């Protein structure tokens, strides 16, 4: 588990995930994933990784999601992706220790392309723990902090969060709406790293570190930053209030990033 520091190792590289046993509460679902995904996808599954709180050893049973990165072969047919969604739902129902299971999909050529070194390459090297298959991260050298990485990983966050606005408009189940608010708030707080300044030398990891950084650099946005931090932990705001605050903050974010407002 990480402790609060500058997020770097002794050589100044961004820290990599610790190679320690997964929390015991998640070993059963990870074993199921490691067995069932290769069985379903066969040679079309190139590699399987865990990221997020389970990978970092700080997940909370019954509250934390299980986040998985799947690298598929370039020839993997779309029909297999449909079957994959069915398996994802089955696993969610069978393992209540995780609140949700997410699959982040990529193709092998995409993950290894030199043009994607700062996005896919950084993601696999520093945010993912290998679980099965060909570990593509072994091909990559560690990275040092840079604005280019922060922008590569978060560059498309405005349209991504605009998608949450649309989904929230059509969501009718209160529990599902609160889950979406939590996801959107967490994504937004982490995406503020895309506004990285030249004089920054550290690299935040935890949500608390992203919050502290945002409050330090954007004190004029303190009230709304605290609002989203609360929603990221315990979502409770009404649908109208959350949507209005998110839309307004996205306008500010787009302006700071120099892109058109949503």
> Closest Cα to residue 19, out of 61, 59, 72, 55?
55
Q: Give residue 81's pLDDT.
A: 86
Q: Which two tokens stand for residue 17?
A: 């995930």
Task: Please tell me what DSSP assigns to residue 144.
Answer: -
Q: Which two tokens stand for residue 109?
A: 């050529």
> Closest Cα to residue 105, out of 134, 131, 127, 72?
72
Residue 260 has pLDDT above 70, yes or no: no
Q: Which residues contact 200 (CB under 8 A, 6 or more apart)?
A: 145
Phi and psi, residue 158, nearest 5°? -65, -55
Q: Give residue 78's pLDDT.
A: 86
Q: Where are the domains of the chain?
A: 24-141, 154-257
Residue 5 has pLDDT above 80, yes or no: no
What does the alpha-carbon distance between residue 68 and residue 38 come to, in Å, rounded to a whole number?
13
Q: Give residue 182's pLDDT.
A: 94
99-to-59, 95, 153, 215 alpha-carbon distances in Å: 11, 9, 25, 29
Strand pairing report for 101-107 and 128-133: unpaired
Q: Which residues contact 64 (CB under 8 A, 6 or more apart)?
A: 52, 53, 54, 98, 99
> Closest Cα to residue 120, out of 96, 86, 155, 85?
155
**Residue position matching structure tokens 């990275």:** 143
253-to-26, 74, 163, 191 alpha-carbon distances in Å: 36, 35, 15, 10
Beta strands in 73-160 (DSSP E): 101-107, 128-133
What does the alpha-carbon distance between residue 257 and residue 194 come to, in Å, rounded to a whole number?
8
Beta strands in 117-247 (DSSP E): 128-133
Percent of the chain at pLDDT exceeding 70: 97
Residue pLDDT, tens place only, 92-146? 999 999 999 999 999 999 999 999 999 999 999 999 999 999 999 999 999 999 9
Residue pLDDT, tens place only, 205-244? 999 999 999 999 999 999 999 999 999 999 999 999 999 9
Over its C-alpha atoms, the chain yields an Rg (Å, rounded) of 18
Topology adopted by domain 24-141: Beta Polymerase; domain 2 (3.30.460)
Residue pLDDT, tens place only, 24-79? 999 999 999 999 999 999 999 999 999 999 999 989 999 899 999 999 999 999 88
Residue 85 has pLDDT above 60, yes or no: yes
At residue 236's C-alpha, the angle toward residues 234 and 240, to 5°, is 140
């Amino acid at each position: 588990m990480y402790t609060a520091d500058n997020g770097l190792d002794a050589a100044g590289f961004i820290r990599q995930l610790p190679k320690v046993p997964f929390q015991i509460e998640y070993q059963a679902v990870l074993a199921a994933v490691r067995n069932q995904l290769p069985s379903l996808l066969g040679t079309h599954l190139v590699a399987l990784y865990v990221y997020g709180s389970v990978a970092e050893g700080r997940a909370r049973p019954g509250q934390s999601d299980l986040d998985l990165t799947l690298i598929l072969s370039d020839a993997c047919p779309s029909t297999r992706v449909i079957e994959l969604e069915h398996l994802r739902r089955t696993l969610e129902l069978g393992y209540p220790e995780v609140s949700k299971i997410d699959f982040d999909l990529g193709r092998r050529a995409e993950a290894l392309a030199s043009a994607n070194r700062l996005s896919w390459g950084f993601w696999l090297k520093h945010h993912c723990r290998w679980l099965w298959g060909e570990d593509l991260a072994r091909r990559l050298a560690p990275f040092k902090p840079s604005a280019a990485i922060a922008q590569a990983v978060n560059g498309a966050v405005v349209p991504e969060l605009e998608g949450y606005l649309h989904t929230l408009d059509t969501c009718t189940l209160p529990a599902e709406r609160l889950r979406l608010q939590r996801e959107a708030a967490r994504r937004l707080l982490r995406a503020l790293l895309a506004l990285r300044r030249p004089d920054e030398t550290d690299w935040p990891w935890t949500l608390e570190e992203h919050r502290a950084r945002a409050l330090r650099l954007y004190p004029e946005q303190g009230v709304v930053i605290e609002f989203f931090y609360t929603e990221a932990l315990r979502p409770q705001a009404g649908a109208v209030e959350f949507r209005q605050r998110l839309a307004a903050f996205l306008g500010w974010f787009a302006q700071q990033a120099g892109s058109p407002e949503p």
